[in-house]
């Protein structure tokens, strides 16, 4: 049998082509074995499943296999052997595709790869799937393999790897992308909490910091256990379990257990005392199609902008069991993680300053910069105005059980039960010498201290800090504020897949129950009990507020994919979303603790202002349609188009968020309940894909995709102050700020130069424009016609890869153009360009060892100083977070 000529690019872009189907990258050699499990089913589906399980591209004409039934194929097999079994007796054979991959044809097989070429390929090379633009879809779907992710940065957040894809902008202050507070992602104009996220089909929630209905992907699975990350950059599949996917979905898939028993150990060392350990033990197949693994990771590093005594990271354990029967597949998964990530303070920009650390663990230095000898000492200047410490503490338990049963070759039923528990806190040890902090503390600790009030707030400027506040908070000039989270959620997804003639029909449902609480608590910080960012505080001074939310989510969907001709496929369907949330306030904030400065006010008490008592508001859309078309108009090119409507359910959060329960009066809540609408979007996308072998001297192949998209975003919600907020300054509300219109184009391509060298590039243009102005209090913000901030209009990503036998090297980079820093576009953020480098060598034929790999990585190769994440301002400034400096990492990986 003829098999694939290997595509060498570590960042290859591969596509479904023409009248053929190419589902995965041709980067694995045919001799690489994999645990193959394919039930009896239509041949087209079986070949797609083979591609997914082996990493081989499989190219075939639909009319060749339309009426063929594939046999069941199971076992530890090479792609060569597996496809031979699938095609046995069909009259079809597999041949080498000149541009890489298998081509299914009638007749005899030809051109098996020379033995010396197959033997020269290392297992590491064969396993890498790289970046894939998945074909046979009516929408744009791009994927990055777990192997590529680990080559770019061992142990990194899988979200960070997506930054190499067109239309994606990911920034973080951490080289691994793990710092959740300062993490930012934009996809086609939409941000973190407007995308959908799943792990093996299980919903991960809305992706917000302090997530109220899920967890981040790096907390749901150990980085090394992620097998693939897929991005639907325009519109996600109808069956995706998400109610926040206005701008598409991100799907993470964990690796399955290996067919052969063994162990893997990886140890990474690097800059700033980095020490990351990963270990995995596979049982291999132990009878009746059963296999499992358990894995462990520990990360410990000093944050680059903090001093000795600070650490980031924690511990994580994963376990996975898979049973593959003749008709039933059972998968069970478990994740536990416990971590603490110190947060980075942003800087008000533009500024000549670049990074601001924290005093911890040196309390004496903190008190010297904020003198503690007397409560009347003035606060220091802005350059020294930093926290004692700040951190995100998170503990999660996450598990699921999935059962997939094939009743017949044409009917499959998938069911998945899941549960997640999160216990977390965002912690800040902050100076009490600001009016805003003193107003909160004074409202609870000395509500009658009117002599310390000026312009509606407690102040230190005239009479010094209120002694009651000073003494109660510990006498150091610092207090610890926490936002504490607890989340219990569980649910079920169920989907029927029915193949009827030329129709593939899918009908499914998803139910979730989520109980989550969020509270704001304050703790004293004394010279003898300084607390730490790595341990939960106890015995609070007071609870400022506590929210509790009870949410039931019901989502159903129906879709039909109709192959009208061998060259044309049409899809149509819809989903219904019903999200019912009852938000309550067991502990309401004192109105004056939420006050803003009001000139001339002698008191912070305003008896006419009341904090919200809460209630129930549904997010409901019974009909969210989707339509798509796929036309294979040549043997190597496809046209695709998709139209889809989506809804973003109301965030189940309280004070300080953009949510109906964030308003500060019951009257405002009831008004929003009557008139408020959830955010919605219409996404239109169309494009062309190609994958062609070439015979132009050294250039042997090209793959690419050109996509245009347009998005209409309606009912954009924002937090504002109404004009009649009252003398205390209390009275913030959430309002509909109008629409946003987005137009953009993505062009990405891969050039292949034989077996060892390739170049990938992706350039993107996006223009997201506000549709209206809005009022905040008495201020008019003229945003109509202005660009949405923090999104670069132009961006470019590239990767240059070389590999030979066991050696590989890759240079990759990202360019981010100018970004608006404010909502009125009055200040722009300078462009950003970063390079990364990776190289490695895999040794084989070592006694008692399957392989030994040495890997070297450099992040921010040119040591660029630029802003990573930004928080947009509403005037002449924005908040900027620094880019991590150049760092070096070395990894030793052994497989047994």
Six-digit token pair at 159? 């979200």
Give residue 115's pLDDT: 43
Which of 230-234, 521-525, 629-633 shows the highest mean pLDDT? 521-525
Per-chain mean pLDDT for the chain: 86
State the average pLDDT over residues 118-141. Answer: 49
Count of beta carbons in the 10 Å neighbourhood of residue 75: 15
Lowest mean pLDDT among 134-143, 311-320, 477-486, 651-660: 134-143
Per-residue pLDDT tens for 208-265?
888 899 999 999 999 999 999 999 887 778 889 999 999 889 999 999 999 899 999 9
State the average pLDDT over residues 704-731. Answer: 78
- Closest-CA residue to 315 (of 245, 418, 246, 393): 393
Task: Quote the CA–CA distance of 523 and 541 in Å, as a whole number.
Answer: 5
Please give the residue that has the higher pLDDT: either 860 or 65. 860
Domains and CATH numbers, the chain: 1-136 (3.55.50.30), 262-432+473-605+623-895 (2.40.170.20)
Q: Residue 261: which residues within 8 A CB-CB, separation 6 or more?
A: 282, 283, 284
Helix intervals (H) in 288-434: 363-369
Give residue 63's pLDDT: 66
Task: Quote the CA–CA distance of 841 and 837 in Å, as a whole number.
Answer: 14
673 pLDDT more than 70: yes
Which of 5-9, 447-451, 496-500 shows the highest mean pLDDT? 496-500
Count of beta carbons in the 10 Å neighbourhood of residue 769: 16
Dihedral-angle region of residue 729 (phi above 0 means left; psi in -120 to 50 means alpha; beta otherwise): left
**CB burial class (10 A; 0-12, 13-18, 19+) of residue 529?**
exposed
State the average pLDDT over residues 166-178. Answer: 94
Six-digit token pair at 614? 């809460």
Please give the residue that has the higher pLDDT: either 415 or 462. 415
Task: Quote the CA–CA distance of 245 and 203 in Å, as a whole number.
Answer: 11
Percent of the chain at pLDDT > 70 equals: 86
Count of beta carbons in the 10 Å neighbourhood of residue 606: 20
**CB burial class (10 A; 0-12, 13-18, 19+) of residue 845?**
exposed
Please give the residue that has the higher pLDDT: either 130 or 160. 160
Please give the residue that has the higher pLDDT: either 104 or 428. 428
In the three-class reduction of DSSP (H, G, I as helix; E, B as strand; rest coil), residue 192 is classed as helix
Give residue 463's pLDDT: 66
The dihedral sign for the CA sequence 462, 468, 469, 472: positive
Give residue 555's pLDDT: 97
350 neighbors 829 (Cβ within 8 angstroms): no
489 pLDDT more than 90: yes
Give residue 600's pLDDT: 63
Give residue 343's pLDDT: 93
Please give the residue that has the higher pLDDT: either 310 or 692. 310
Lowest mean pLDDT among 222-226, 548-552, 611-615, 742-746: 611-615
Give residue 730's pLDDT: 54
Task: Quote the CA–CA distance of 334 and 375 in Å, as a whole number.
Answer: 51
Please give the residue that has the higher pLDDT: either 41 or 762. 762
392 pLDDT more than 70: yes
Q: Residue 797: which residues within 8 A CB-CB, separation 6 or more?
A: 163, 164, 165, 166, 761, 762, 812, 813, 814, 815
184 pLDDT more than 70: yes
Count of beta carbons in the 10 Å neighbourhood of residue 272: 17
The dihedral sign for the CA sequence 460, 464, 468, 472: positive
Give residue 869's pLDDT: 95
Q: What is the DSSP letter of 335?
A: E
pTM of the model: 0.86
pLDDT band at 29 (very low <50, low <70, confident <90, very high): very low
Give residue 134's pLDDT: 52
């Amino acid at each position: 049998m003829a098999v694939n000529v290997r595509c060498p690019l570590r960042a290859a872009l591969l596509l479904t082509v023409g009248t053929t189907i190419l589902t995965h990258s041709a980067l694995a050699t045919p001799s690489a074995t994999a645990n193959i499990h394919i039930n009896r089913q239509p041949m087209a589906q079986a070949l797609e499943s083979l591609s997914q399980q082996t990493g081989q591209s499989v190219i075939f004409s639909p009319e060749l296999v339309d009426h063929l039934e594939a046999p069941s194929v199971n076992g530890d097999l090479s792609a060569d052997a597996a496809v031979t079994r699938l095609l046995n007796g069909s009259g079809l054979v597999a041949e080498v595709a000149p541009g890489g991959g298998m081509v299914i044809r009638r007749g005899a097989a030809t051109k098996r790869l020379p033995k010396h070429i197959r033997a020269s390929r290392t297992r590491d090379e064969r396993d890498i799937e790289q970046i894939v633009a998945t074909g046979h879809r009516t929408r744009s779907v791009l994927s990055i393999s777990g192997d590529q992710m680990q080559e770019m940065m061992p142990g990194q957040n899988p979200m960070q790897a997506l930054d190499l894809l067109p239309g994606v902008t990911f920034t973080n202050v951490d080289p691994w992308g793990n710092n959740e507070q300062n993490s930012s992602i934009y996809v086609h104009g939409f941000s973190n909490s407007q995308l959908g996220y799943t792990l093996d089909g299980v919903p991960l929630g809305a992706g917000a910091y302090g997530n109220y209905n899920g967890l981040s992907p790096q907390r749901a699975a150990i980085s090394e256990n992620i097998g693939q990350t897929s991005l639907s950059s325009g519109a996600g599949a109808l069956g995706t379990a998400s109610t926040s996917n206005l701008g598409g979905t991100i799907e993470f898939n964990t690796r399955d257990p290996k067919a052969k028993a063994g162990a893997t150990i990886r140890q990474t060392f690097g800059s700033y005392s980095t020490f990351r350990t990963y270990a995995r033990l596979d049982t291999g197949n132990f009878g009746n199609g059963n296999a499992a693994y358990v894995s462990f990771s520990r990360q410990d590093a000093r944050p680059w902008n903090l001093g000795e005594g600070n650490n980031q990271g924690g511990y994580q354990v994963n376990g996975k069991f898979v049973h593959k029967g003749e008709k039933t597949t059972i998968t069970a998964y478990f994740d536990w993680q416990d971590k603490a990530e110190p947060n980075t303070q942003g800087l008000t920009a533009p500024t000549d300053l670049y990074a601001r650390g924290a005093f911890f663990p040196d309390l004496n230095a903190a008190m010297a910069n904020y003198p503690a000898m007397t409560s009347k000492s003035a606060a220091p200047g802005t350059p020294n105005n930093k926290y004692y410490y700040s951190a995100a503490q998170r503990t999660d338990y996450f598990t699921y059980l999935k059962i997939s049963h094939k009743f017949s070759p044409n009917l499959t039923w998938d069911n998945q039960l899941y549960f997640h528990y999160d216990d977390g806190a965002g912690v800040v040890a902050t100076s009490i010498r600001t009016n805003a902090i003193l107003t909160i503390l004074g409202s609870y600790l000395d509500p009658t201290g009117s002599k310390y009030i000026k312009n509606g707030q407690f102040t230190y400027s005239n009479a010094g800090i209120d002694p009651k506040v000073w003494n109660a908070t510990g006498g150091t000039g610092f207090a610890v504020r926490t936002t504490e989270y607890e989340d219990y959620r569980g649910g079920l997804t169920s989907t029927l897949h029915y193949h009827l003639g030329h129709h593939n029909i899918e009908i499914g449902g998803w139910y979730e129950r989520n109980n989550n609480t969020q509270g704001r608590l304050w703790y004293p910080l004394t010279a003898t009990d300084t607390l730490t960012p790595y341990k939960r505080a106890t015995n609070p001074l007071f609870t400022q507020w506590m929210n509790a939310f009870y949410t039931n989510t019901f989502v159903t969907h129906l879709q039909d994919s109709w192959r009208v001709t061998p060259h044309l496929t049409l899809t149509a369907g819809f989903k219904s979303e019903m999200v019912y949330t009852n938000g309550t306030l067991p502990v309401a904030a004192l109105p004056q603790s939420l006050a803003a400065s009001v000139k001339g006010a002698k008191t912070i008490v305003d008896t006419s202002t009341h904090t919200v008592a809460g209630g129930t508001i549904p997010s409901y859309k019974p009909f969210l349609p989707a339509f798509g078309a796929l036309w294979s108009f040549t043997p190597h090119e496809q046209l695709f188009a998709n139209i889809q409507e989506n809804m973003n359910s109301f965030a189940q959060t309280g004070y300080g968020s953009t949510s109906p329960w964030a308003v500060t009066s019951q009257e405002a809540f009831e008004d929003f309940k009557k008139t408020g609408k959830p955010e919605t979007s219409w996404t239109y996308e169309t494009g062309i894909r190609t994958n062609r072998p070439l015979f132009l001297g050294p250039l042997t192949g090209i793959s690419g995709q050109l996509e245009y998209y347009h998005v209409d975003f309606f009912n954009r919600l924002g937090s504002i102050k109404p004009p009649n907020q009252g003398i205390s300054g209390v009275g913030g509300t959430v309002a509909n700020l109008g629409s946003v219109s987005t137009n953009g184009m993505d062009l990405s391509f891969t050039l292949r130069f034989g077996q060892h060298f390739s170049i990938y590039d992706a350039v993107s243009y996006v223009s997201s424009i506000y549709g209206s102005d809005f009022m905040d209090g008495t201020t008019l913000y003229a945003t109509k016609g202005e660009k949405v901030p923090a999104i670069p209009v132009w961006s470019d990503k590239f990767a240059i890869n070389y590999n030979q036998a066991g050696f590989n090297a890759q240079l990759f980079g990202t360019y981010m153009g100018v970004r608006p820093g404010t909502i009125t576009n009055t200040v722009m953020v300078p462009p950003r360009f970063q390079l990364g480098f990776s190289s490695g060598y895999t040794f084989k034929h070592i006694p008692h060892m399957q392989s030994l790999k040495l890997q070297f990585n450099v992040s921010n190769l040119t040591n660029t100083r630029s802003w990573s994440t930004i928080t947009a301002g509403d005037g002449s400034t924005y908040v900027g977070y620094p880019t991590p400096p150049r760092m070096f990492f070395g990894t030793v990986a052994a497989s047994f």
